């Protein structure tokens, strides 16, 4: 099956790629935190989506300590999944 993206889809791909590049630059320069706690991720992306991504193994939660340490989620992983879902709507 041959899928040919439309000009609109190509424009969206380029926009998302540029935005992800800018996000990476902001993280590397220290302007944005590379990790979010669960509450921040829920607020930015929606609780149901984040929980689904964690259950499906698409996002890897990280923990600094053993017992009461907070979970951290990588911002780039969350952004990539969110943008991928947005792009899939147009294909």
Residue by residue, pLDDT tens for the chain (91 residues) are: 567 778 888 888 899 999 999 999 999 999 999 999 989 999 999 999 999 999 999 998 888 777 767 789 999 999 999 999 888 877 6
Inside any domain, residue 19: yes
Inside any domain, residue 79: yes
- How many C-beta atoms lie closer than 10 Å to residue 40's C-beta? 16
pTM > 0.75: yes
pLDDT at 55: 93
Inside any domain, residue 62: yes
Residue 26 lies in domain:
7-88
Inside any domain, residue 2: no
Inside any domain, residue 1: no
The tally of domains found in the chain comes to 1
Residue recorded with tokens 């921040």: 40
Inside any domain, residue 71: yes
Q: 64: left (phi > 0), else alpha (psi -120 to 50), else beta?
A: alpha
Inside any domain, residue 69: yes
pLDDT at 59: 93
């Amino acid at each position: 099956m041959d899928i040919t993206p439309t000009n609109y889809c190509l424009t969206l791909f380029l926009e998302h790629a540029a935005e992800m590049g800018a996000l990476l630059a902001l993280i590397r320069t220290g302007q944005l935190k590379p990790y979010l706690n669960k509450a921040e991720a829920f607020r930015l992306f929606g609780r149901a989506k984040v929980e689904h991504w964690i259950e499906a193994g698409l996002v890897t939660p990280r923990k600094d300590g053993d017992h009461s340490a907070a979970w951290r989620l990588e911002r780039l992983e969350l952004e990539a999944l969110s943008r991928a879902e947005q792009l899939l709507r147009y294909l």
